[in-house]
Amino acid sequence: MHHAWRKRLRPGRQSAEVKSTSEAAFETAIEAVLLGDGYARVDGQGFDRERAIFPGEVLAFIQATQAKVWDKLEALHGE
């Protein structure tokens, strides 16, 4: 999900529009590099704001990179 933010300016100033446009271009450039390096988009609906993580992504990462430890945890605590 993309949000555009604009700073409120005093009358006569117009840099907020330029900043918003530049910020959007910057976000797009960063996203293109990450996607090109093998990262994937994640649906924002799975984000846990309280913990500031994507729990499903974190668990999948741990299971993929630390399988032996994960198996031990499952044996102790169940699925």
Query: Are residues 34 and 20 part of one domain?
Result: yes
Q: How many domains does the chain have?
A: 2
Least confident interval from 6-10, 50-54, 73-77 = 6-10
Query: Are residues 76 and 55 part of one domain?
Result: yes
Query: Are residues 4 and 35 part of one domain?
Result: yes
Q: Which domain holds residue 64?
A: 43-79
Find the mean pLDDT for residues 36-62: 92
Contacts 24+ apart (CB under 8 A), 23-32: 27/2
- Residue 10 to residues 16, 40, 79: CA-CA distances in angstroms? 10, 40, 57
Query: Are residues 56 and 36 part of one domain?
Result: no
Give pTM, 2 decimals. Answer: 0.55
Find the mean pLDDT for residues 47-70: 94
Query: Are residues 64 and 48 part of one domain?
Result: yes
Can you read off the two tokens belonging to residue 45? 């609906």
